[in-house]
Amino acid sequence: MWFCKLNGALKGASKTGTKTILARRPITSLVPGEPNEPKILTDVPGPVSKALFEKLNSINQSGSVQLFANYDKSIGNYLIDVDNNVFLDAFTQISSVPIGYNHPDLLTVFQDDHKLRALINRPATGVFPGHDWPEKLRSILLNVSPGLPQVMTMMCGSCSNENAYKALFFSYRNRQRGENVDFTELESSSCMINRPPGAPQLSLLSFHGAFHGRTMATLATTHSKPIHKLDVPSFNWPIAHFPRYKYPLEDNTRENHAEDDKCLEEVEDLIVQYGKNENPVAGIVVEPIQSEGGDNEESPRFFQGIQQIAKRHGVGLLIDEVQTGVGATGKMWCHEHFNLESPPDIVTFSKKMLTGGFFHSLDMRPKQPYRIFNTWLGDPGKLYLLEAVLNVIKQQNLLDQVLRTGSKLKLGIATIEKEHPDLLNSTRGRGTFLAVNAADTELRDKIVAKLKLKGVIVGSCGDHSIRLRPSLTFQEHHADILLDKLQQTINEVK
């Protein structure tokens, strides 16, 4: 269906009464074989999903499961469930599917025997890497590094951040020691009983609304929802306020600059305060756009200020690009929008990168082996998939596609917001990494649920935000469908 009630705001539209009809045109998808539109045949979840849920829930706590997917049938931007319902997926496994389901270029990767063996014979790469491991890291990962010369591979976003935090602490302590890099006997013995000086009193500064993971240290820097943190012991680490902007941005420049200044002042005050309290800050940990916490975006000006504060106080700067990385904002890395005077000290990644890890400066490189280590340290098989993904991004100019589709989506959502300001507000984001607020949590949840019943999957975050996380192959005709379904949904809930 090719229409959307946007009062002529979308290019190429012609009005018929109160309905704007988009000109019909052939659909040419970047992923061949996609359906043309969503198709819902049953309740959601359907009977097969419900039966499978009962089986799964008898084995583990499965309350987060929404439906069961058929990944053999799913293709491109369409997720097909076990009840044969066809969904336009604008959430993509929590922002982790880079170029759509079952992309033909990925389906052929392991037809190469060498790559298949790399998948089967998964090595402990920190001890027994394959002969081509150095070249893989250089040609695949460092090829997309945001200006940082070193890379460490990991499995997921949480362990990427967790180990990057250790690098921040190691680097800070190395600077304190100066030329003497040997550990004292007291340091070696005291760390074994979790006491200083071997286990020093240090902290990391994070932000209200942040999400960095669910392991122990990352959970200490996560402040998005209580359910993640309840009953888990944590650290006395500083938490600063992340700016909350007024929208539209172009109409509130003065107020938003004042918000930046207030938050930057708090960051610097906390670093000074924790230093005086003998719990010095070793690093600042920040997302370019706070994702789980409500898609809170920030200005280049704010991030330039954060970097200046970090350098002024001799603390590391870690930018968490687990969710924002790999093109979703129209650049490979979201922080590249900020025109920083130099790369951050560490950039963590996962999700659309298909493997976890972090890029880092030479200063963040441990001086001894085994300090950042686990059995697998990533997966060579995932790098082959990532290599194919990066080739598709380049060949199909997907970063430009993201900007085109994102512009259409953002304009369309903003237009619906203007028509219904009592229901929606604060349309925001970069590229297709977009969000809009509902008036309250109940309305947000109702909109997300109704969209799913219409065959469109979107996400939620924060207290009342609706977020979009489509793949990089999400095109203008997909945007038309999403906007049409959103308009229908808003008309039903108003």
Q: List, for residues 210-260, the tens digit of each pLDDT value.
A: 999 999 999 999 999 999 999 999 999 999 999 999 999 999 999 999 999
Alpha-carbon distance of 342 to 311, in angstroms, equals 11
Chain mean pLDDT for the chain:
93
361-377 confidence digits (pLDDT tens):
999 999 999 999 999 99
Which CA distances in Å does 84 have to 1, 158, 449, 451?
19, 33, 18, 17
CATH 3.90.1150.10 domain span(s) along the chain: 47-103+402-493
CATH 3.40.640.10 domain span(s) along the chain: 113-394
Please indicate whether residue 351 is annotated as part of the active site. yes
Query: Of residues 3, 87, 91, 211, which has the active-site annotation?
Result: 211
78-133 confidence digits (pLDDT tens):
999 999 999 999 999 999 999 999 999 999 999 999 999 999 999 999 999 999 99
Residue type, 405: T
Query: Of residues 184, 253, 375, 441, which has the active-site annotation?
Result: 375
Alpha-carbon distance of 66 to 50, in angstroms, equals 9
Alpha-carbon distance of 87 to 100, in angstroms, equals 13
Alpha-carbon distance of 293 to 212, in angstroms, equals 10
How many CB atoms are closer than 10 A to CB 385?
A: 21
| Contact of 119 with 382, CB cutoff 8 Å | no
Please indicate whether residue 320 is annotated as part of the active site. yes
Q: Which fold has domain 113-394?
A: Aspartate Aminotransferase; domain 2 (3.40.640)
Q: For residue 54, what are the contacts with CB-CB under 8 A and spacing of at least 6?
A: none
- The string of DSSP codes covering 153-222 is EESSHHHHHHHHHHHHHHHHHHHHHTT--SPPHHHHHHHTTT-TTTS---EEEEETT----SSHHHHHT-
DSSP helix/strand/coil, 456: strand
Query: Of residues 320, 345, 379, 480, which has the active-site annotation?
Result: 320
Query: Of residues 5, 351, 408, 454, which has the active-site annotation?
Result: 351
- The string of DSSP codes covering 317-384 is EEEE-TTT-SSTTSSSSGGGGG--SS--SEEEE-GGGSSEEEEE-GGGS-SSTTSS--SSSS-HHHHH
Residue by residue, pLDDT tens for the chain (494 residues) are: 333 344 344 443 333 333 333 444 457 899 999 999 999 999 999 999 999 999 999 999 999 999 999 999 999 999 999 999 999 999 999 999 999 999 999 999 999 999 999 999 999 999 999 999 999 999 999 999 999 999 999 999 999 999 999 999 999 999 998 876 789 999 999 999 999 999 999 999 999 999 999 999 999 999 999 999 999 999 999 999 999 999 999 999 999 999 999 999 999 999 999 999 999 999 999 999 999 999 999 999 999 999 999 999 999 999 999 999 999 999 999 999 999 999 999 999 999 999 999 999 999 999 999 999 999 999 999 999 999 999 999 999 999 999 999 999 999 999 999 999 999 999 999 999 999 999 999 999 999 999 999 999 999 999 999 999 999 999 999 999 999 999 999 999 98
- CATH architecture entry for 47-103+402-493: Alpha-Beta Complex (3.90)
